[in-house]
Amino acid sequence: MGVVIVMQPENVYPRQSGSSDDMSSLVGKSLGQFRVVERIGAGGMATVFKAYQPALDRYVAIKVLPPHHAHDQVFVKRFVQEARSVAKLTHPNIVQIHDFSSEEEGSLTYIVMEYVEGGTLKERLKRALPVPEVAGFIIQAAEGLDCAHQHGIIHRDVKPANILLRKDGHLLLSDFGIAKILEGTTNLTRVGTGIGTPQYMSPEQGTGQPVDRRSDIYSLGIVFFHCLTGRVPFTADNPLSITIKHLHDPLPVERMLAEGVPNPIVQVVLKMTAKNAGERYQSADAVIDGLAQALEMSNLSMPRMRFGLSPSGPFAEPRSVPSGQLPNAGAKPSAPNNAAYGSVPANVGKVQLVCFRCDALSDSSQVYCTACGYELSDKLASADRFRGPNGRPVLARLAIQNGPLSGRAYRLHQVPTTIGRTNNNDLILPGSTVSRSHARLWFDTGRWLLQDLQSGNGTLINGARITQAKVLNDGDVINFGDDVVVFNVTYGS
């Protein structure tokens, strides 16, 4: 068969003590406009540094590739071409590429990307994870992959170490295109060669065959299995033996059943990891639909609800149940309450809490608002660092004007908010003209900005379709497809 596998390291940001080397000497120095602060990860493929960008007062992550690549003109050309393609990807579940460079003196090649506080999915896999939580991760990853695939980009190295998790559970895919860049510049000339991580590689990738989006779906299916069972399905003493198992051995379904994984979920994993690419889901979007149906058939909900109304299907009426499942988001919110946020006595003598997000009342025994699903402890308030002239934090308010959410309004803290039709978004608008991941709203240096995420039906501000990030003004009317929302600036306490 003649298979040669180049194994990739299983870390992105995790700290490593590692021995001092030439790369460590970059700490304290500058790469272009970025001042290197510390080394935060290392492996055979690259070294990752945390750096500071004074011009925008922000931290970034810089992935520096091995120095010898900078002297390979074929590599440099391929690197620039692929980096430009990946940098165009804009999606809430993809780590944003800010910049890239091959140093003029030909000594370093690096990529500057979004710095993500938190860790990797790999660090969470000390044991099997609950099915609803895993489903949330897989849907978010599939959303990111779907965006990349629609732009003709295949990841080629989907694995837990390339999946970053913010502390709130928001997932981002990292390292798009890196495997492709290296695959073309490693002098692997034999038939049947590949760069990747054998434990997660599709049979066709492991044997050096051409790959497409279905190869990424296979790898994500293996990640799915790993999350559900706490172990990868195939292990061996060497990469070739692992590849052979991916080619011929059946997926050990009994491990999932032993963890109590419902059969509809097991069937989704099996379809994602079919040996024949033609028998898999043919798109990441189809994975999302299949998993949504499996959750409904299993009577399972997502692990937590972001504010807004879920689309029809398994997320339509989540229930307040133990083990991390969703609170009920189907109830209509109470009328706005002008009492100070906190506990207020209800008529029946029980203590109730006022939801910061929607003003509805919930019993103090609840973790999430029973009307909108927002966490009643309001931990996001800690992000409100910018204050207005009145000394109070600047917030945003979105008032829904039509559709099933008509008449509802939601306050937003100074954290990025994704808006779309599926449950991985922060604000869920169920309209059929709203894309799965439609737009992103965020606060920056005293201004609220809105960006369309290449939605199908567009985002409009006061009737004008936007193609890049725009500053919002108080009273602006926003269209997410046909869903109409009025934006207002408001203030916290």
What are the residue numbers of the active site?
157
Copy the structure tokens of residue 163: 């999946």
- Helix, strand, coil shares, percent, the chain, to 5: 25, 25, 50
Query: Is-contact 196 156, C-beta < 8 A?
Result: yes
Query: Is-contact 129 121, C-beta < 8 A?
Result: no
- Residue 228 parent element (H or E): helix 213-229
List Cβ neighbours of 212 (8 Å cut-off, separation of 6 or more). Answer: 154, 277
d(CA 143, CA 111): 23
Task: State phi, psi for 338 to the nearest 5 degrees.
Answer: -90, 5
- CA distance readout (Å), 95 to 171, 172, 391, 493: 9, 6, 34, 33
Cα 237 vs. chain centroid, distance in angstroms?
32
Q: What is the DSSP letter of 251?
A: P
d(CA 430, CA 483): 9
